[in-house]
A = this chain, B = another copy of it.
């Protein structure tokens, strides 16, 4: 653990927000008209300062001493209790929400960068914030005035926190099988009974109350996902101006291998039959309501994947510059000093791969958030629709790419630390543990592959719109003088992806769903590889234009961008031909494999 870990590179963040995404142009939208570049930078700066000054220094303590479960209640680390008010004061809980609910109307594409610093500093500590924002946002969007006043306001203020209470022991990935029940009572509220599992921040001693946004079935609901409702279930319920016990019980704590500062709990509702809940939105529309925010939650997983890979990448860069070991091939005189290991080609390979994943991933999530900003706030409904379409098709990649490749990046950061990396005296192993969650929660990678190929890539106009964005980038990169070899590869990749998707869609239309979806994880890998190639071409175009007039110190930054772009376009992008071949011919080894043959 070095004191100089920047979490994210400030220079890169400046590049990504202003030179690449040009987020100031969002200020042309009425929702963001009060902002300008300076207010964006100030917002990011305050988050970065807290992340470096308080969250990151607390990382080891929160990882080493997880919350304690005793007498039915959870107690968090004292350091976490000290951090909470500072996090809440940052205004990050509702930074992107409207002024009307106390928010600051910061674009998501800016806010996620602030959030990335916080997550890179301490994913678990940020977790309480992210969950509360998500839960409060559901109430804001679908709750009635009473719920907004009673619950949302306190949550956005950081007085209470929130959870997403979806999972049950028999219903993890399969939300259709949820059995928690909600029975309507005479007063219009509901009586809730059921068992939830993996409820992050389901209890703690940070705030006076916790509000669970739970999925449940109202009596007589239809079976499956069409019979699921969204119910707000607080730990303590408002009753005659006071908060009284609401029959919500912590039945156990799961020992997660990462995010260890954030408890993951088994929560029982209504053991005594006195658990009150309030319907949020329409009956039986719970999953639809939830899905309206799901894109956001999934992109937040992507942000976390990028942030967790980023902090480890910077640690590895620092280590590789300082740690001396060995000499170059052909210059092995043992009387000469050993070299910093960054001088070894294979160490640079591992670092450049991490850089390509981290900065390519960051560029993607900022772009996806930019689509979200325009999809929500642009005055023109056609533009909103266009942006929503792009956001929808990119979301599985924005979630899964940082999760899967981020894990690989974190593994390389550990590897660069050698034997020290294998010890808990150094932090790369902890970030590796943190990262692993991202391929599991908010839908596993396999499920996002199915979602992408079975639905989103085939959505009306989605691929066409994305293809146009990509070809625009290619043309722009050509104009900027980026290597035509890279651009030709990218153009070919767009064609490959389009042709493959059409071919698979045709199989689906012929009723061959199994064939079509057999390699959906490979398709997701292919799609993500192309999308990140696109991100690197976007970055290369900016770098190529900036380089001729760049200051001495900036030259290296832009040269590094071009090396990373080259790495992705020349060493990763060519992989897609093989992946496309597998998808297209429906290679059937695991389709033929019978369960009893393993």
Contacts and interface: CB of A to CB of B under 8 A. Distances in A.
A449 B346 contact: yes
Nearest to A428: B257
A411 B403 CA distance: 13
A176 B339 CA distance: 13
A352 B350 CA distance: 28
Given A423-B254, A564-B589, A567-B589, A174 B325 contact: yes
B257 A429 contact: yes
Contact of A450 (B173, B329, B423, B454): B329
B559 A255 contact: no
Interface stretch (A293-301, A437-445, A472-480): A437-445
B329 A517 contact: yes
A590 B330 contact: no
Contact of A326 (B174, B324, B342, B440): B174
Contact of A521 (B255, B317, B328, B346): B346
Contacts of A446: 344, 346-347, 350
Given A329-B513, A560-B593, 11 more contacts: A170-B338, A173-B326, A176-B332, A224-B333, A342-B595, A346-B446, A346-B520, A350-B446, A418-B444, A560-B594, A571-B582
Nearest to A566: B589
A334 B597 contact: no
A8 to B, nearest CB: 13
A73 interface: no
Interface of A: 167, 170, 172-174, 176-177, 197-198, 223-225, 254-258, 264, 317, 320-321, 324-330, 332-335, 338, 340, 342-352, 355, 407, 411, 414-415, 418-419, 421-425, 429, 433, 436-437, 439-441, 444-446, 449-450, 454, 513-514, 517-518, 520-521, 556-557, 559-560, 563-564, 566-567, 570-571, 574-575, 577-578, 581-582, 587-598
Contact of A578 (B335, B342, B560, B575): B575
B597 A335 contact: no
A590 B567 contact: yes
A522 B427 CA distance: 27
Closest 5 CB pairs of A and B: A224-B334, A560-B597, A346-B446, A567-B589, A566-B589
Nearest to A596: B556
Contacts of A177: 334, 338
Contact of A411 (B172, B407, B596): B407
B345 A590 contact: yes
Secondary structure of the A contact surface, majority rule: helix
27 contacts: A174-B325, A176-B326, A176-B332, A197-B419, A198-B419, A255-B423, A256-B424, A257-B422, A257-B424, A264-B423, A329-B517, A342-B598, A344-B446, A345-B514, A345-B518, A345-B591, A346-B449, A346-B521, A351-B593, A407-B411, A415-B445, A418-B440, A429-B433, A556-B594, A556-B596, A566-B589, A567-B589
Nearest to A347: B446
Of A328, A335, A422, the most chain B CB neighbours within 10 A belong to A422
A596 B558 CA distance: 12
A595 B258 contact: no
Contact of A345 (B422, B445, B517, B571): B517
Contacts of A521: 346, 349
A438 to B, nearest CB: 10
B326 A593 contact: no
Of A173, A454, A597, the most chain B CB neighbours within 10 A belong to A597
Contacts of A342: 595, 598
A199 B330 CA distance: 30
Contacts of A348: 590-591, 593, 595
Contacts of A563: 589-590, 592-593, 597
B174 A424 contact: no
A597 B559 contact: yes
A418 B571 contact: no
A418 B338 contact: no
Contact of A352 (B444, B589, B596): B589
A173 B320 CA distance: 14
Nearest to A575: B578
A340 B595 contact: yes
A455 B255 CA distance: 47
A116 to B, nearest CB: 18
Contacts of A445: 415
B346 A176 contact: no
A587 B559 contact: no
Contacts of A415: 439-440, 444-445
A429 to B, nearest CB: 5
A344 B286 CA distance: 26
A351 B325 CA distance: 39
A355 B338 CA distance: 42
Contacts of A333: 224
A567 B590 CA distance: 7
A491 to B, nearest CB: 18
A556 B597 contact: yes
B257 A423 contact: yes
A457 to B, nearest CB: 15
Contact of A173 (B197, B335, B418, B582): B418
A225 B325 CA distance: 14
Contacts of A172: 325, 418-419
A593 B449 CA distance: 34
A574 B566 contact: no
Given A167-B419, A590-B567, A598 B351 contact: yes
B317 A174 contact: no
